A = this chain, B = another copy of it.
């Protein structure tokens, strides 16, 4: 972030990133719905919950009602637009290379985790709670999507995914504690989350399992 960035320009950038993350997550929800043979309504619903479910749960927990997804119509409209695009252009969206999808998803995860931790801190949540809420913001939507698909949430099962979100959130919270400027802490947290996620994909990292004899 260059030093000369005005607050207004910064705010617009943050909003743009937030909407972009919403779009990416909504596309993933739509694809999951279409692959489960759902009709248009189910596709719209899964796009909405995948993209906005994490933020809704975070807002309910911190007491920020109504959640932004129900008060700022740019969010649901973005999710529904992503659903319609995925629906109409399914074959094309489906053929986007998996590496690109994973990279965009990792970027969305980083954005949501960082934004979630920051909002929790703004609402005076305890630092540990703010880290957890950053993680919930990042992975909550995908978790609700999997519950609606009657599957064990992917995020619980494998991969360094929620872990990357928690790392990004923890860096934001630690930065606030030692009074690093908010923009710097957000950038550091987002880059750490994105990097850990992409490295774990590249090297097939996994977390340990309990020693079962």
Contacts and interface: CB of A to CB of B under 8 A. Distances in A.
Interface of A: 33-34, 36-43, 45-46, 48, 56, 60-63, 65-67, 69-73, 76-77, 86-88, 90-91, 123, 125-129, 132-133, 143, 147-153, 155-158, 162-163, 206-213
A39 B87 CA distance: 34
Nearest to A65: B63
A39 B207 contact: yes
Contacts of A132: 48, 70, 76
Contact of A162 (B45, B72, B90): B45
Contacts of A162: 41, 45
Contacts of A62: 65-66, 70
B70 A126 contact: yes
Stoichiometry (number of copies):
3
Given A66-B123, A73-B127, A76-B129, 16 more contacts: A39-B157, A39-B158, A41-B162, A45-B156, A63-B65, A63-B66, A70-B125, A70-B126, A70-B129, A73-B126, A73-B129, A76-B132, A88-B210, A90-B212, A91-B211, A143-B148
Contacts of A69: 129
Contacts of A213: 91
